[in-house]
A and B are shown apart, each in its own frame.
Chain A
Amino acid sequence: MSDTGEHLPASPAGDVPGAEVPERVLADLPEFGPASYAPAPEGTDLVHIAEDYGLFIGGEMVPARSDRAAPTVNPATGETLATFAVGGAEDVDRAVLAAREAYESHWRDTPGSVRARYLYRVARLLQERSREFAVLETLDGGKPIKESRDVDLPLAAAHFFHHAGWADKLDYAFAGAEAHPVGVVGQVIPWNFPLLMAAWKLAPALAAGNTVVLKPAETTPLTALLLTEVLRDADLPPGVVNIVTGDGTTGAATVAHPGVDKVAFTGSTTVGKEIQRTLAGTGRRLTLELGGKAANIIFEDAALDQVTEGIVGGIYFNQGQVCCAGSRLLVQESVADAVISKLRRRMDTLLVGDPLDKNTDIGAINSAVQLRKITELVESGVRQGAELYQPSCALPERGWFFPPTLFCDVSPSHRIAREEIFGPVLSVLTFRTADEAVEKANNTPYGLSAGIWTEKGSRILWMAERMQAGVVWANTFNRFDPASPFGGYRESGFGREGGRQGLLPYLHLQGAQL
């Protein structure tokens, strides 16, 4: 989603190999001293964070019966922002009961046009308070403010706005079938796009007429908790959305609860498999949006300056903590040197640091745990013989940071080419023919996304057809939209989010007639 270049001006002539700038021009330029950077931090005074938070059940903030709580930390400083409740089995049970009560007493019979009104209100309220949400998102999760401000928040609002319009049009969405809600939905979301994932989950579920128990991620509960204010301001009836914060045990209790008719999970493939096992034989529905190891494939005829921006956006967006990140770069051999040299120069200009700074490109890694995982995998890359490149940027002294990282001479058997790193780490492999590119791209158990860069239209369509991936970006990368279905093939999960196809998991289709 960060700019991939097709709308950016081409790089200055000086970037093109062999294009020398005449000395006379240089002589005319004034002398500059060494560049000094003036920080441009976004203000945080518009955000109010409470000392501690309860659970949102039945329309009210209530204390957790579990008596458990945990701190949520600003990953850029290590400072505790607030304490939140860690819901236990009894709390999940209460939330499911509240959702069931709301579903059966009125929500399932609420006309689509009325459900639409609530969702439109939520979209508008989110737009109105978007800067406040963006700052809180950056404080709690460590992502650069320019991303939470320009990507997460606009998209979250757009998801509610888009799905609001579906609520009263479901009869037109699936020809020949009557669409009914499924019931109570349990949703467990990750920490990389905390509010956006809440929007991806809540909007289609509510539009389809379900009620929800949502479990935010352990390290990023704050924007979901702020969202409860929006839901209340929108007059959404109590119990339609319940938010139970907590850790892995809270999530496990949510997906295992027998009162939940459908589970939607976004997170790691390991946990996704565990959930699929948990639900086996229960007859309850499941969709999974899991990990990825996307190939970003560069053909020799591609526009290399745009490619460079696309690669950077593909892997360094949100510090690479993106399930669909373009973490395997497949470059055609003939342009590999040129691409790598452009990429290194571009990496040298990336600003790593304070996520609240409006110019920061790469913010903080979400948690100490995640930083350890990234560090461990990068060490394995070095140990297994790949060639490491990192720009010489100073990292902040406090907080959890990792520099943008590039590995060349990567073999397909290296761990960094096979395992999802979920960090700002790019592995470069090369290919000679399109067939070889297809084979290497699909040589992974994952299948979430793929990138194709070439100026040849027929090759784009030929390649796109052969990618075992749910989303294919051609001459762009990391684009998202509520009208565009998102989700994986293979071990990247099943089910789609967004668009008409994204409604299917939340509906029971009945009585398809001849």
Chain B
Amino acid sequence: MSTAGGGLGVPKTYKMYVGGAFVRSESGRTYPARSAGGDLLAHAVAGSRKDVRDAVRVARGAQAAWAARTAYNRGQILYRVAEVMDSRRAELIRELARATTGSEATADPAGEVDVAIERWVWYAGWCDKYPQVLGGANPVAGPYFNFTVPEPMGVVGIASPDEAPLLGIVSRLAPALVPGNTAVVLAGERHPLVAVTLAEILATSDVPGGVVNVLTGRRAPLVRALAGHGDVDCVDLSGCDPADHDDADVAAEAERLAAETVTRVVHATVGERHWLEAAAQSPYAISAFCEYKTVWHPKGR
């Protein structure tokens, strides 16, 4: 054992991830992230509404270029996330265990990390397939060529669940990225740190800056800010547990705010909330983050 530095470790400062950079909140605020036993793990950033607006602006700026990449390229990038995640597997398990042991969240940190890696691989492979499965040519009654293609919605806001601090994010983020959306992810409020480590993985996986932005902080004000933002096309409220009274109130208010600009609201279904199971992933989760565009053209000589 080395005694360099007197044996004292170098604890990480957990910042948020916006536009490809790790940033503190403009508000200067933090909140303590603690283990189930009450030990201080780190001071997580308490993101503000202004941070949400900044992240949305960055995500909007990155969206067209992300969607314009070839499906093959997006697939390789998502696969690269799995590669880099696998290389940091031991660290992720340790971090998850430290944060969640003894809490209601993840009983099986190794299982959660392994399924999260597999989920990136699974969705990576969908990038150049989902349009064939979800779209197609339509046999209309007339001399027209008519086809329907799924397209990205644009900027997606994702409220992540507390009960699977890593896998919950991956299970919602990956299907949102597949068709070319960019995302503003709110980490689960109780166990935010592993989301920042996931951001480090994304930052070193060829995911262009701004495509995924990760904020930490209090769920209620951040979800409100996301849902009420006019330039957010879709909010995923999977992080608001329908069984939790406070969460349900936050979700209801977010849905009311979303109505101001007809923002799409999606939730993981009951089946999809079994995060460790195969039912949590499907091409229909990708579909929930797609618009369908139908194009007509006459046939003729």
17 pairs, CB–CB < 8 Å, chain A vs chain B: A7-B143, A273-B259, A274-B259, A276-B258, A281-B256, A472-B293, A473-B295, A474-B296, A481-B146, A483-B146, A485-B294, A491-B262, A499-B148, A509-B269, A512-B271, A512-B283, A514-B122
Give complex CA distance A469, B148 in Å. 12
Task: Kindly state whether residue B139 has any CB partner on chain A within 8 Å.
Answer: yes
Chain A contact residue count (CB 8 A cutoff): 56
| CB <8 Å contact, A475 and B294 | no
Give complex CA distance A481, B139 in Å. 9
* Contact with A511, one of B253, B264, B271, B300 (Cβ below 8 angstroms): B271
Chain A window 454-486, contacts with chain B (Cβ cutoff 8 Å), 1 for yes, 0 for no: 000000100010010111111110010101111
Task: Kindly state whether residue A125 has any CB partner on chain B within 8 Å.
Answer: no
| CB <8 Å contact, A510 and B138 | no
| CB <8 Å contact, A490 and B292 | no
| CB <8 Å contact, A277 and B284 | no
| CB <8 Å contact, B138 and A177 | no
Residues of B close to A177: CB separation below 8 A: 282, 284
| CB <8 Å contact, A269 and B262 | yes
Task: Kindly state whether residue A175 has any CB partner on chain B within 8 Å.
Answer: yes
Q: How far does the Cβ of A130 sit from chain B's closest Cβ, in whole Å?
A: 15
Residues of B close to A174: CB separation below 8 A: 284
> Which parts of B237-283 form the interface with A (CB within 8 Å)?
242, 248-249, 251-256, 258-262, 264, 269, 271, 278-279, 281-283
What would 4 more interface pairs be, CB under 8 Å, given A174-B284, A277-B256? A273-B260, A277-B255, A280-B259, A470-B291
Known: A6-B300, A158-B141, A481-B138. A470 touches B256 (CB 8 A): no
Q: How far does the Cβ of B169 sit from chain A's closest Cβ, in whole Å?
A: 20
| CB <8 Å contact, A513 and B262 | no
| CB <8 Å contact, B292 and A487 | yes
* Contact with A472, one of B139, B143, B295, B300 (Cβ below 8 angstroms): B295
| CB <8 Å contact, A479 and B284 | no
| CB <8 Å contact, B296 and A483 | no
Q: Which residue of A lies closest to B242 (CB)?
A: A283
Task: Kindly state whether residue A489 has any CB partner on chain B within 8 Å.
Answer: yes
| CB <8 Å contact, A491 and B261 | yes
Give complex CA distance A490, B258 in Å. 12
Closest 9 A-B residue pairs measured CB to CB?
A281-B252, A280-B255, A512-B282, A276-B259, A481-B140, A280-B256, A514-B278, A277-B259, A491-B262
Residues of B close to A274: CB separation below 8 A: 259
Q: Which residue of A lies closest to B145 (CB)?
A: A474
Task: Kindly state whether residue A389 has any CB partner on chain B within 8 Å.
Answer: no
Chain B residues engaging chain A, CB cutoff 8 angstroms: 122, 133-134, 136, 138-144, 146, 148, 233, 242, 248-249, 251-256, 258-262, 264, 269, 271, 278-279, 281-284, 287, 291-298, 300
| CB <8 Å contact, A485 and B292 | yes
Task: Kindly state whether residue A493 has any CB partner on chain B within 8 Å.
Answer: yes
Q: Which of A288, A484, A504 has the most CB of B within 10 A?
A: A484
| CB <8 Å contact, A288 and B139 | no
| CB <8 Å contact, A483 and B140 | yes
Chain A window 256-300, contacts with chain B (Cβ cutoff 8 Å), 1 for yes, 0 for no: 000000000000010011101101110100001010000000000
Residues of B close to A487: CB separation below 8 A: 292
* Contact with B262, one of A158, A276, A473, A476 (Cβ below 8 angstroms): A276
Q: Which residue of A lies closest to B252 (CB)?
A: A281
| CB <8 Å contact, B242 and A489 | no
Residues of B close to A276: CB separation below 8 A: 255, 258-259, 262
Q: How far does the Cβ of A126 sit from chain B's closest Cβ, in whole Å?
A: 16
Residues of B close to A472: CB separation below 8 A: 293-296
Residues of A close to B287: CB separation below 8 A: 504
Residues of A close to B298: CB separation below 8 A: 6, 475-476
Known: A474-B295, A496-B292. A483 touches B251 (CB 8 A): no
Residues of B close to A485: CB separation below 8 A: 138, 148, 292, 294
Chain A residues engaging chain B, CB cutoff 8 angstroms: 6-7, 158, 174-177, 269, 272-274, 276-277, 279-281, 283, 288, 290, 445, 460, 464, 467, 469-476, 479, 481, 483-487, 489-494, 496, 499-501, 504, 508-514
Residues of B close to A7: CB separation below 8 A: 143
| CB <8 Å contact, B259 and A281 | no
Give complex CA distance A322, B252 in Å. 33
Q: How far does the Cβ of B67 sit from chain A's closest Cβ, in whole Å?
A: 10
Q: How far does the Cβ of B266 sit from chain A's closest Cβ, in whole Å?
A: 10
Residues of B close to A499: CB separation below 8 A: 138, 148
* Contact with A476, one of B148, B254, B258, B297 (Cβ below 8 angstroms): B297
Residues of A close to B233: CB separation below 8 A: 490
Give complex CA distance A501, B255 in Å. 24
* Contact with A481, one of B141, B258, B262 (Cβ below 8 angstroms): B141
Give complex CA distance A510, B133 in Å. 17
| CB <8 Å contact, A489 and B291 | yes
Q: Which residue of A lies closest to B234 (CB)?
A: A494
Residues of A close to B140: CB separation below 8 A: 479, 481, 483-484
Give complex CA distance A491, B140 in Å. 27
Q: How far does the Cβ of B271 sit from chain A's closest Cβ, in whole Å?
A: 6
Q: Which of B143, B144, B242, B300 has the most CB of A within 10 A?
A: B144
Give complex CA distance A475, B144 in Å. 10
Q: How far does the Cβ of B112 sit from chain A's closest Cβ, in whole Å?
A: 17
Q: Which of A476, A481, A493, A510 has the most CB of B within 10 A?
A: A481
* Contact with B296, one of A175, A280, A473, A508 (Cβ below 8 angstroms): A473
Q: Which of A158, A493, A500 has the most CB of B within 10 A?
A: A500
* Contact with B142, one of A272, A283, A479, A511 (Cβ below 8 angstroms): A479
Residues of A close to B262: CB separation below 8 A: 269, 272-273, 276, 288, 290, 490-494
Give complex CA distance A512, B300 in Å. 41
Give complex CA distance A469, B269 in Å. 27
Give complex CA distance A300, B152 in Å. 31
| CB <8 Å contact, A513 and B278 | yes
Give complex CA distance A460, B297 in Å. 9
| CB <8 Å contact, B142 and A481 | yes
Give complex CA distance A203, B141 in Å. 18
| CB <8 Å contact, A475 and B297 | yes
| CB <8 Å contact, A469 and B293 | yes
Q: How far does the Cβ of A64 sit from chain B's closest Cβ, in whole Å?
A: 30
Residues of A close to B253: CB separation below 8 A: 280-281
| CB <8 Å contact, A479 and B296 | yes
Give complex CA distance A283, B242 in Å. 9
Give complex CA distance A280, B223 in Å. 14
Give complex CA distance A514, B278 in Å. 6
| CB <8 Å contact, A483 and B138 | yes
Q: How far does the Cβ of B287 sit from chain A's closest Cβ, in whole Å?
A: 7
Q: How far does the Cβ of B238 sit from chain A's closest Cβ, in whole Å?
A: 13
Give complex CA distance A219, B281 in Å. 46
| CB <8 Å contact, B293 and A470 | yes
Residues of B close to A509: CB separation below 8 A: 269, 282, 284
Q: Which of B133, B148, B300 has the most CB of A within 10 A?
A: B148
Residues of A close to B293: CB separation below 8 A: 464, 467, 469-472, 489
